[in-house]
Each structure stands twice: as C-alpha cells, then as structure tokens.
Amino acid sequence: MNRFTRGRRRSAPLPTPRRGLRLDDRGVAKYFHGRTEEISLFESLCHSAMESNGGAMLIIQGPPGAGKTALLHECAQHARDWGWQVAGIPHDAIWNKRSLRNSLKPPRFWTNFDLQSISANIAGFGGGGGWGLRETAPLDLLQRHVRKTEKGVLLVLDEAQALYSADVTGSEKNAAVITLDAIHNGRLGKPVVMLAGGLGHTHIGLSRFEISRAGSEDLVNLSHIDAESERAIIGDWLRIEGRAKGDAKHWVDAIAHETEGWPQHISAYGQRAAQQLRKDNGRLTSGGLTAVLVTGREDKSRFYEHRLGEIGRYERPLLGLLVVCCGRNAAWAHVHLTAALSAIEGYLEASPHQTVDTMIQRGVLAATTTRKYHIPIPSMERYLVGYARDLEQEDGVWVQEIVNDVVAALDKAKYKPAPDRGSPVLSGRLRDVLAQMVAVPALHNRGTPSEAFPAE
C-alpha cells in the first residue's frame, strides 16, 4: 500500500506552477518600443561596413536599467535577420583567445533561437572543422573565423564597463589593442561590427586600449526612453500581458508618472500591473492600481539598494546632500566629489578617491560628455536625498555642519554652481528643502495622493 501510494505520488503529474510574482526586469524586452535613432545608427554602421567590407565599433553606454542589454538584443536580432553571424563575447575575449574561441563555438544546449547563428557558425568554420585551431592571438582567430563568412559578423560585448577596471597589461594588453584596432578600423577583410554595451564609463574603459574615436557617431549615451514609447510599453504590459478590459489610459498615466521614462521601472511596474490585472480578471480597479503603485515603489527601492551595494551608510546621505547643495542633475568633476567626501572623511569606509571610483563603478555616478559625473537617474537622486533627510532627522545639527563643510570644500575645489541655483542650505531651511526634494509629486489627474500612495 505504501509502495503503491509512493509510486502514485511519484508518477502523478506535478501541479501547474502558480503564476509567479517574481520580477524579470533585466535584459531582453518582452515588449520592445522606441530607440529608433539608436537602431538606425546601428543599421547605418552595419550598412557602411558591408559596403566597404570594413568594420565598426558602436558603444552603447548608460546607467543601470537604461535598456542597454535590451537594445543590444534588438540590434542582434536585426543582424540575424540580415544573415549575419552574431556572437556574444565576454570582455576578456579581446585579449584571451580561449575566451574568444568559446564565444564563437555553438552553445552546449541549442535552442531554436540560436539555430540560425549556430548553422552560420559552422558554415563559417568550413563545416565545423575549425575547433582544433592552433593557439594564436585573438586577432588571428577572428580573422580565420570571419574569412569564411558570407555576410557579416556582429560581436556583442555586454557589461563592457568591466574593461575600465580589468587587470590587463603587457602582451595581453597589446593583443587587445591590436584586436580592437582591427575591428574598429575595418582591417579584417569582412564586415565585422562590435557592439559594446555598458555603464557610463565604458568609453573610458575602451580608451585604455587606444581606441581613437573620431567623432561621437560611434557612441550612444542611453538615457530615458521617449514618452510615447514609454506609454506604448506600459500599454502592452496592461493589454497583452494583463488582458486589461476597457480604457487603460488612467493606469498608463499613473504608471508613467512613477516610471519617469526609465526602462527598468517601466518594465517592473508593467509586470506588476499585469500580475495585478490577471488576478482581477482584467478589471482596472482603483484598488488594483494602488497595489501596483505600492509594489512598484518597493521594487524601485530594492533596485536602488542593490545598485548602492557596498556604498556606505554615510556616503549615501552625502550624495543626497550634494544634490541639495548643488541642485538636481548637477554634475561634478572627480575632484569636486572627493573634496565633498572629505567633509566626512572620518566616517568613510575607503579614501574619498576610492569611494568616488566605487560610486562610478556601481553606476550611481555616470560620466557626462564633459567628463563630469552626475547621478544619472532622477528617482535615484530623490532616493539619495531621502538618506540625507533621514540623517538630518537623526541629527540635524551635525548634518547642517556637514553641509557647511561640503559647501566650503566645493568652493575651495573651485566648483562653479549653475547660475540659476540658489543656496537653500545656507538659509536655515535645510529640513524643509530636504522634505520638498524627497516628496513624490502628485499623480496626474488624481487629486492629492498622499494617503493612497506612500512617500518613497
């Protein structure tokens, strides 16, 4: 009886998994919209590469969650549609032949999605006879690989900011310089394009390898998505994924107000909205919307906590205070940031210089075109001001002292505030200013939301 029961249990079909509440908010976009300019730029680079049998490199850099990986995937799909080979490569593939070779091999488990590129890969090696290549520099390997391709080759290097801090010197560095130069300047005899995506310091990382950029046409600074595409993405999540019944405009308005054009947030809120709608059989209720906004804000906080990572307990409010002192979307030179951080030097977990570098590497600070650094996501800025507010509530006198020291340090480091910025911190209104800067603006068309929608 026992055995029978056990047997039955074993062979009984597993219950259908419950619809998960997990958030899948990174990478390939389920409902991709927008980025038409960036995709046209990519297409025109590939087109020129095909016409001249040359090469090109396109750097797509931007803050966390701006949609770099999603855009790389979209471009890769275009390339596949033209019959190009597409290979995802890790950053060390530009100097490490083993790593490059592995990237050019078919994946261990083939999927329908990959079959096109796999067959192209095999064709590219003349019927698959190429795996036993002799040990050579990545460039030779790449040359041999591309020689037999019919169309072009697209190398996709995501998370390319790793090049910024990669420990690579001597012959490896030379190999990287030669490989990148050959791609960038089209010396492989076939159309080869490299797409490098990464955080805002990616181009600085690549410049370590002597990539000379003639102009800005090969660098995309990815930021917000345009309002129309934002609404289209939210609309798809609601209508297609959530099967919303009726006019969803009101929901789209409320969600877009919270997501502020940031793809990561759009994707997270979109998924939460779809989950809620599925639960409510597609009915667009106001209780459902409130639940989506509350969960969405929790997701946003988690996202920022994750990004802030090892950035310490006092460094976070200091960034918030910098925003208060210099205004929203201010940009600072490295030297201004280290000067400001020295105002709390005794509390830092590393030197001011190292702390700034960590902030850059975590994507909390991003380089502008003038090599200054800013906090790249508006709601992250607000989040950091929230830390400053909390610290001020703990010890207002101390925080006012820090502010005074920061202002003096910035002055000494010759920081020039934008002309339209006042100096709210000196007027004794620090607490009010912090409260105003942290407040989430009222939602469109919804009266005062303060009770239904808790502050971030």
Contact residues for ligand ATP (CB under 6 A)? 25-29, 31-35, 62, 64-70, 225, 233, 263-264, 267
Comparison of 163 and 325: residue with beta carbon closer to ligand ATP: 163
Q: Between 23 and 333, whose beta carbon lies closer to ligand ATP?
A: 23
Least distance in angstroms from the C-beta of 309 to ligand ATP: 12
CB of 268 to ligand ATP, least distance (A): 8
Q: Closer to Mg ion by CB, 69 or 117: give it.
A: 69
The least distance separating Mg ion from the CB of residue 63, rounded to whole angstroms, comes to 11
- The option from ligand ATP, Mg ion, none interacting with 66 (CB < 5 to 8 A, set by class) reads ligand ATP
Q: Name the minimum Å distance from CB 387 to ligand ATP.
A: 21
User: For every residue of the chain, which 3-state class applies, written as one string?
Assistant: CHHHHHHHHHHCCCCCCCCCCCCCCCCCCCCCCCCHHHHHHHHHHHHHHHHHCCEEEEEEECCCCCCHHHHHHHHHHHHHHCCCEEEECCHHHHCCHHHHHHHHCCCCCCCHHHHHHHHHHHHHCCCCCCCCCCCCCHHHHHHHHHHCCCCCEEEEECCCCHHHHCCCCHHHHHHHHHHHHHHHCCCCCCCEEEEEEECCCHHHHHHCCCCCCCCCCCEEECCCCCHHHHHHHHHHHHHHHCCCCCCCHHHHHHHHHHHCCCHHHHHHHHHHHHHHHHHCCCCCCHHHHHHHHHHHHHHHHHHHHHHHCCCCCCHHHHHHHHHHHHCCCCCECHHHHHHHHHHHHHHCCCCHHHHHHHHHHCCCCEECCCCCEECCCHHHHHHHHHHHHHHHHHCHHHHHHHHHHHHHHHHHCCCCCCCCCCCHHHHCCHHHHHHHHHCCCCCCCCCCCCCCCCCC
Which of the listed partners (Mg ion, ligand ATP, none) does 230 bind, with a CB threshold of 5 to 8 Å by partner kind? Answer: none
- Closest approach of ligand ATP to the CB of residue 62, in Å: 6
Select the residue whose beta carbon is closest to Mg ion and give its number. Answer: 69
Binding site for Mg ion (CB under 5 A): 68-69
Nearer to Mg ion, 69 or 275 (CB): 69
Q: Smallest gap, in angstroms, from Cβ of residue 223 to ligand ATP?
A: 10
Based on CB atoms, which residue is closest to Mg ion, 10 or 22?
22
Contacted by 34, from ligand ATP, Mg ion, none: CB < 5 to 8 Å by type = ligand ATP
* Smallest separation, CB 68 to Mg ion (Å): 5
| Residue 314 near which of ligand ATP, Mg ion, none (CB within 5-8 Å, type-dependent) | none
> Based on CB atoms, which residue is closest to Mg ion, 90 or 106?
90
Residue 62 touches which of ligand ATP, Mg ion, none (Cβ within 5-8 Å per kind):
ligand ATP
For ligand ATP, which is the closer residue by CB, 146 or 199? 199
